[in-house]
Amino acid sequence: MSGKVAVLNFDQTLCSQPHFLQPAFEWIELSDIGQTNGYCSKDSLREIGSRLQKRRNRGVTLIGRGNYHYVSYLLTSELSVPFTLVLFDYHSDMMETPDDMHISCGSWVLEAIRRLPHLRKVLLIGVSEAGLKQMPGDVRAKVLAYPNDNVNESESGIRSLVSNIPTDTVYISIDKDVLNPSEAVTDWEQGRFSLRFMVRILEAIAKAKRVAGVDICGEYPITPAHIYRNEMRQASRINERANRYLAERAVQWMSETVPSGHPVHRSAG
- What pLDDT digit, counting tens, does each position of 13-68 carry? 999 999 999 988 999 999 999 999 999 999 999 999 999 999 999 999 999 999 99
Inside any domain, residue 16: yes
Q: State the pLDDT at residue 269.
A: 43
- What pLDDT digit, counting tens, does each position of 176-208 carry? 999 999 999 999 899 999 999 999 999 999 999
Residue 136 belongs to domain spanning: 2-255
d(CA 164, CA 84) in angstroms, rounded, equals 10
Q: Is pLDDT of 129 > 80?
A: yes
Inside any domain, residue 95: yes
Q: How many domains does the chain have?
A: 1
pTM of the predicted model, to two decimals? 0.94
Inside any domain, residue 268: no
Q: What CATH number corresponds to the domain at position 79?
A: 3.40.800.10
